[in-house]
Structure 1
């Protein structure tokens, strides 16, 4: 009985030929992300900025964000960020850090309750002081740096020099574009966002390693195939697995976006973007860039025989 394959075994699609479009496009997106990050910046959440976050639900089912902002700013605690979210009537208030320590922060909550509790139900109250927020920034940054360093060390010892550099470039590409997602959408960047980035690092590494393992195997089996054909065969012979993994992961994360609720939606939206960008990167960034890294340059022979041989081996 033949197993189901969503990508035909004998496909010989030329993925690498699109490198003249995909590599400049990715480079442009990376540059734009860096520029926007320096000019617009991230929308840091209370975890990193400190302050008081209050989420309320209107008892009448309808919230007037403008009136809430005017009333909250009249309390005298500085500029207040007011944003509607979730179902109708949901609204969040972010008060800046107050001088005077925990007592001053607690006073913000007490004043807000006294002002709004008649018309609004308080769903969530979170207070983070400047010392705690500073520690979270350092811990989050250190976690990302250590994770990237560990990934680079793993790739360096796992693959030959060119393959390791290609995988590292692909992983960094995915991280930068994920940060760009936060900059463009102005989604709140908090500790959950750090977890999402670290998850995407692992997913990106997994996608790239699968393709590069096949590339290294084919380099040993077919000595005379040109590097372009070698990479095309590598991508084509792993595409069935790549498509299956990306599709199932995408659908699972999409379900979280649609039905997971507000608490997990931010994380799920970033992961949804990450699945798409990591799959794109493994096929159209990490693999084609090996050509410019000098992976191998030999006289070209037809790759059709290599593809047919691979398909025959994979057929039950």
Structure 2
């Protein structure tokens, strides 16, 4: 199987390259300038030239707070661009897997969010990603939209790596404790994407298409996640700091965050046979890899 991935850097592309190599799947990352989501004229030629079996729409504008003041750019990259990617996929009769986010929800639900729940993003980033979902769905029915959350990995910049860096610099760290979500390892997400891509390429079944939630198994607050990172690191002889839980009100940001980012992933399990590992297990593996690098 030959998969084109939009973007050439970042956690997910790096994870897909690693997992694809292990699974015998050819991953073709295509980023700027060859494929620039902010310049839709570059998209169809780049995709056609790669001759893939399926497309993974992974590149995105992910600066959540900066998006509040860069609305036009966020929508160009997260909505108009993915719509053009899906349009190119439709022209080539290829399935497209589009990566979306928990930020399409407002976080008010008392339980993990399901695919059928009402979307109501709180900020520009979430609104642009939701618009991207709509653009992809409008361009082709041959799509799977995977909403994920709280992604971390040994690569790039992410919460887990930030916690380890801060632990090496200071004895105590304040971390928000009233936002809940599913920590998701990018390597696990890559495995899930490869499984879904294989299913879409192998079968035209409409049930395999649509919106799915894809996040680590089990939930936590950011403070819970940080505490687990510290416990694992300390047990391995790495840096550790004391985590002090704080309310969101004590850590204001330009873009509001959903209080409940938990995603119900049962549809993905039932339809695609994907079961994500417990987040604690994947956190252990990631910390071990970083400390032993």
Coarse TM-score class (shorter-chain normalised):
under 0.3
Q: TM-score, normalised by structure 1?
A: 0.23
Identify the structure with the greater helix proportion.
Answer: 1
Task: Give the number of the structure with larger relative contact order, counting CA–CA contacts within 8 Å between residues 6 or more apart.
Answer: 1
Q: TM-score, normalised by structure 2?
A: 0.24
Identify the structure with the greater strand proportion.
Answer: 2
